[in-house]
Amino acid sequence: MKALIIVDVQNDFCPGGALEVPEGDTVVKPINKLMDSLDCVVQTQDWHPSDHLSFASNHGNKDPYDTIEMEYGEQVLWPDHCVQGTEGAEFHPDLKNKPSQLIVRKGFRKDIDSYSAFFENDHETVTGLHGYLQARNIDELVIAGLATDFCVKWTALDARKLGYKVTLVENAVRGIDIESSVDAAFDEMREAGVEFKNSGEISD
């Protein structure tokens, strides 16, 4: 069984949003189409409290895109984004909302960021998604959304580690791209055994 995992297609990651991904909104159309062709549809939603430690604004002397050491390793600092209950945290208004069967929220603990849909950034704390997918006999994932070089990449890499067959929908992802991080992300995913396809090539 196959599932579509739609990563963080939220206003703050789209043009005009607080952590704008260039062309982020262009993923909506192909994703809407895919939602109709797969039996299991899951969305993730970045969902931070306003005092989240991944926000540069909560560190006094730091700027967005600086990095700091957290207990679990290096952390990029971001502009405030996807704050719980704000419009920026809502899904893009054109993204279909009926087909999705599960919404996984992540990044809701102040002290730890969470890029992957499976594990928080300590690579230990689980979100519960793996248990859900196992219970539904899902062994193949089709992954799309934002941002290629952060939440999409970590979701795909963790999925491979957990043993899923993974296909990344090339025309339905966009990246932030800090110092060629999109190219690096594609290389890492390829090495981990992720396959790449266009949305038109995907069927149930």
> Is there binding between residue 80 and Zn ion (CB under 5 A)?
no
Rounded-to-integer distance, Cα 56 and Cα 137, Å? 40
Residues 98-137 that bind Zn ion (CB under 5 A): 107
Smaller CB distance to ligand VGL: residue 40 or 156? 156
Rg of the Cα trace of the chain? 16
Cβ atoms within 10 Å of 140's Cβ, excluding its own: 15
> Is there binding between residue 80 and ligand VGL (CB under 6 A)?
no
> Is there binding between residue 91 and ligand VGL (CB under 6 A)?
no
> Is there binding between residue 46 and Zn ion (CB under 5 A)?
yes
Q: Which residues are catalytic?
A: 8, 106, 151
Smaller CB distance to Zn ion: residue 44 or 167? 44
> Is there binding between residue 149 and Zn ion (CB under 5 A)?
no
b/e burial code for range 69-98 (CB count within 10 A of at least 16 → b):
eeeeeebbbbebbbbeebebbebbeebeee
Instruction: Please pick, from the candidates 6, 35, 83, 147, the single residue that binds ligand VGL as defined by CB under 6 A.
Output: 147
Element (H, E) at 159: helix 153-161
Helix (H, G, I), strand (E, B) or coil at 130: helix
- Which among ligand VGL, Zn ion, none contacts residue 146 (Cβ within 5 to 8 A by kind)? ligand VGL
Instruction: Please pick, from the candidates 25, 46, 80, 120, the single residue that binds ligand VGL as defined by CB under 6 A.
Output: 46
> Is there binding between residue 158 and Zn ion (CB under 5 A)?
no
Is 129 buried (19+), middle (13-18) or exposed (0-12) by CB count in 10 A?
Answer: buried
- Let me know: does 14 contact 24? Beta carbons within 8 Å: yes
Q: How far is the CB of 179 from Zn ion (least distance, A)?
A: 19
Number of residues that bind ligand VGL (CB under 6 A): 8
Residues in Cβ contact with 131 at an 8 Å cutoff, skipping those fewer than 6 apart: none
> Is there binding between residue 112 and ligand VGL (CB under 6 A)?
no
- Which among ligand VGL, Zn ion, none contacts residue 150 (Cβ within 5 to 8 A by kind)? ligand VGL
- Let me know: does 148 contact 173? Beta carbons within 8 Å: yes
Q: How far is the CB of 16 from Zn ion (least distance, A)?
A: 17
- Residue numbers of the site for ligand VGL (CB under 6 A)? 8, 13, 46, 78, 146-147, 150-151
